[in-house]
Amino acid sequence: GAGVSQSPRYKVAKRGQDVALRCDPISGHVSLFWYQQALGQGPEFLTYFQNEAQLDKSGLPSDRFFAERPEGSVSTLKIQRTQQEDSAVYLCASSLGQGNQPQHFGDGTRLSIL
């Protein structure tokens, strides 16, 4: 389809393991965003890319979280040494540009840390 695609849809990991979450944005979208959505809460901003440049990572909760978009298209969010509080839905969004351009969201990856 033409929408934002995220994989896997569900991920279960043991505490201490590393995980990698993938996002395929809409073709031609310059901007890419990652959000974290805890149960019963609104999404919270993690990081923002414009093409391959990570322009804002102020929302990453710790240095265990790392995101990349090496070729300005697909992005990967990596979480090292996972902890139980990392359990959440991770949403990826893309847009044509910044500011007033609406963001288009994927269906998210539900991460459960045991």
Q: Which residues bind other proteins (CB under 8 A)?
A: 4, 6, 33, 35, 40-45, 48, 55-56, 59, 91, 93, 98-100, 102-108, 110
Q: Among residues 28, 78, 20, which one has the least CA distance to residue 51? A: 28
What is the closest distance, in whole angstroms, from the C-beta atom of residue 9 to other proteins in the complex?
8
State the minimum distance, in angstroms, from the CB of residue 6 to other proteins.
Answer: 8
CB of 32 to other proteins, least distance (A): 11
